[in-house]
Structure 1
Amino acid sequence: MTAGPRVTPGPAATPADRRAARRAQDLLAHELPRVREAAHAWRNGLAGLFVGLLGFGLVKGRTDVSKLAPPYGALVGAALLLSLLCGTVAVLHLLRAAHGAPRTVPLATGTGADAALLHAQDHLETLRSVRALRLGVAHTLLCAAALVTAVALTWYGPVREALRLLVRTATADFCGQPVRVADGRLTLKTSTGEVTVSLADVVGLGAVDTCPAPAARGAEKPVAPPPRLS
C-alpha cells in the first residue's frame, strides 16, 4: 500500500507577511465603498460637463434645421438621436456604478464560509461597478461628441438654396431669385445681375429649383454641314 502525499507546515509568517495580508484584507473590505464614491464623483463631473455642452448648444446660431441643404438636415437629426441614445445608456451605467443593481443580497448565517462568500460577492460587485463606470464615461463622451457634431452641422452646414422664379415674356425668359415687386415691376437677381421685368409683359411665371441654362428663345436648331465632295 503506497502512502499519499504528505502535507507539512510551511515557514512561519513574518511581520511583513502579516502586514501585507492585513493590508489586502482591508483593501477587499473597503474596495466597494471606494468605487461607489468614485462613481459619485464621476457622475457629478460628467453632469457638469453635459450642462456646459447644453449651454454651448444654446448659443445663438441657426435654429431652423429645415433651412439646411440636404442631406445636412438628416445628419443633424441622426446626430441628435445618437446623442440621446448614448446619453440614456450613460446615465443608466453611471447609476449602476454609483448605487448598484436593484436586487437583494443574502445575509450571512454566522459561519466562516458564508462570510467568505459575502466578501467574494462584494468583490464581484466591485468589478461590475468599475465596468459600469467605464462604460458610463465612454457613452457620456460619445453623447458629447454627437451633440457637438449636431450643433456644428446646424451652425456651419450649407444653407438650402432658395427657389428661383422663371419669368417668361413675349421676347425672352428670365430666371433668378425674386428681390422685390414695386410699381408693377418684378426685380430678379440673376447670375448676370439684377433684372427688372414689367408685370404687364409677363406671359408665364413659375417656381423652379434651378435655373435652366441660358438660351435664346426661338433659336433655330443648328443645321448639319453638307457632305464634302470627293
Structure 2
Amino acid sequence: MTPPCTPPRIAAGPRATAADLLASQERHRLAAEALPRVRAASLGWRNAAGALMAGLVAFGLVKGRTDVGQLADRWALAVGCLLLLALVCGACGAYLLNRAAHGAPKPFRLGTRTTRSATEHLEVRSALRALRGGIAMTSACVLFLVCAVGSTWYGPNAKPPAVELSTPATGKLCGTVTGVRQGRIVLKTGGTTVEVVASALTQLKTVEECP
C-alpha cells in the first residue's frame, strides 16, 4: 500500500541581503534602459546605412556603364534583376531600421493586466528583431548593388568593338573582325565581308563605332 502523498510545504525564504537588493536594482535599471538603448542603436545604424547608400548612389562612389543597353542581352537582364533585388532589400532594410528606431506604426492594445514593464519588454524584443533584419537587408542591398555595378564593368558588349584599318590596296576600311585565317583578317563592313592581308596593314586601331 503506497503512503499518501504529502503536499509541498511553502514557507518564506531567507531574508534579502544587501547584495540581493543591489542585484534587483541593477536588473530593474537594465530593463528600464533597454528600450532607449535599442532605439539609439537603431538610429545609429539607420544613419550609417543612409550615408552609405547616399555615397554609393548619389555621389557615384561606385560607377559602371551609364547605359545597360551596351551590355549583351543576358548580362543586361542579370544587371536589371540585381538592381531590382537591391531596391527591394534597400526598401525593406529602411523600413525595418525605422521600425526599430521609432516603433511600429500601430497602437498598443491595452488590457486590465497589461503593465508598462511587460509592454516595454515585448517592444524591446520586436525592436531587436527589426534591427537585425534591417542590418541584414541593408547589407544585402549593398552586395546586390556592387554585384550589379561589377557586372557592368566586366560584362561583354552587346556588339563587338569595331576596328579601323588601312592598306595600300583597299584604302581605309571600318568594320568588325569576324576571324583571322592564313595571315588574312576577315572584316565585316557594310554588310559585306572583306579579307585583308595582315602584312599589308599601314594602320589598325579600335573605334567605338564606324562612321
Q: Does structure 1 residue 93 correspond to structure 2 residue 96?
A: yes
- Structure 2 CA distance for aligned equivalents of residues 11 and 17 of structure 1: 11
Matches within 5 A, 1:96-175: 96-105=99-108, 114=114, 117-162=115-160
**TM-score, normalised by the number of residues in structure 1:** 0.67
Q: Is the contact between residue 55 and residue 61 of structure 2 (CA under 8 Å) also seen in structure 1?
A: no
Once the two structures are TM-superposed, the CA of residue 136 in structure 1 deviates from its matched residue by 0.2
- TM-aligned CA distance change 1:69 to 1:22, over 3 Å: same
**Amino acid in the other structure paired with 2:54:** V
- Structure 2 CA distance for aligned equivalents of residues 93 and 39 of structure 1: 9
From 43, 52, 55, the equivalent of 2:55 is 52
Matches within 5 A, 1:210-221: none
- Structure 1 CA distance for aligned equivalents of residues 64 and 145 of structure 2: 15
Once the two structures are TM-superposed, the CA of residue 3 in structure 1 deviates from its matched residue by 6.5
- Structure 1 CA distance for aligned equivalents of residues 62 and 20 of structure 2: 61
Once the two structures are TM-superposed, the CA of residue 49 in structure 1 deviates from its matched residue by 1.5
Q: Is the contact between residue 187 and residue 196 of structure 1 (CA under 8 Å) also seen in structure 2?
A: no
Secondary structure, in 3 states, of the residue corresponding to 1:71?
helix
From 5, 18, 25, the equivalent of 1:22 is 25
Tell me which residue corresponds to 1:68: 71
Once the two structures are TM-superposed, the CA of residue 70 in structure 1 deviates from its matched residue by 3.1
- TM-aligned CA distance change 1:77 to 1:4, over 3 Å: same
Deviations 1:161-186 (A, max 9, x none): 249xxxxxxxxxxxxx6859xxxx88
- TM-aligned CA distance change 1:188 to 1:119, over 3 Å: same
Percent of paired sites with the same residue: 42
- Structure 2 CA distance for aligned equivalents of residues 29 and 145 of structure 1: 37
- Structure 2 CA distance for aligned equivalents of residues 45 and 62 of structure 1: 27
Tell me which residue corresponds to 2:86: 83
Q: Is the contact between residue 108 and residue 118 of structure 1 (CA under 8 Å) also seen in structure 2?
A: no
**Amino acid in the other structure paired with 1:49:** L
Q: Is the contact between residue 62 and residue 149 of structure 2 (CA under 8 Å) also seen in structure 1?
A: no
Q: Does structure 1 residue 193 correspond to structure 2 residue 185?
A: yes
Structure 2 spans left out of the alignment, 5+ residues: 166-170, 194-211
- TM-aligned CA distance change 1:119 to 1:61, over 3 Å: closer
**Amino acid in the other structure paired with 1:138:** A
**Amino acid in the other structure paired with 1:144:** V
Q: Is the contact between residue 63 and residue 149 of structure 2 (CA under 8 Å) also seen in structure 1?
A: no
- TM-aligned CA distance change 1:24 to 1:82, over 3 Å: same
- Structure 2 CA distance for aligned equivalents of residues 47 and 75 of structure 1: 25
Secondary structure, in 3 states, of the residue corresponding to 2:173?
strand
- Structure 2 CA distance for aligned equivalents of residues 143 and 94 of structure 1: 14
Deviations 1:32-65 (A, max 9, x none): 1111111111111111111222256466642121
Q: Is the contact between residue 57 and residue 148 of structure 1 (CA under 8 Å) also seen in structure 2?
A: no
Structure 1 spans left out of the alignment, 5+ residues: 164-176, 198-204, 212-230
Q: Is the contact between residue 66 and residue 73 of structure 1 (CA under 8 Å) also seen in structure 2?
A: yes
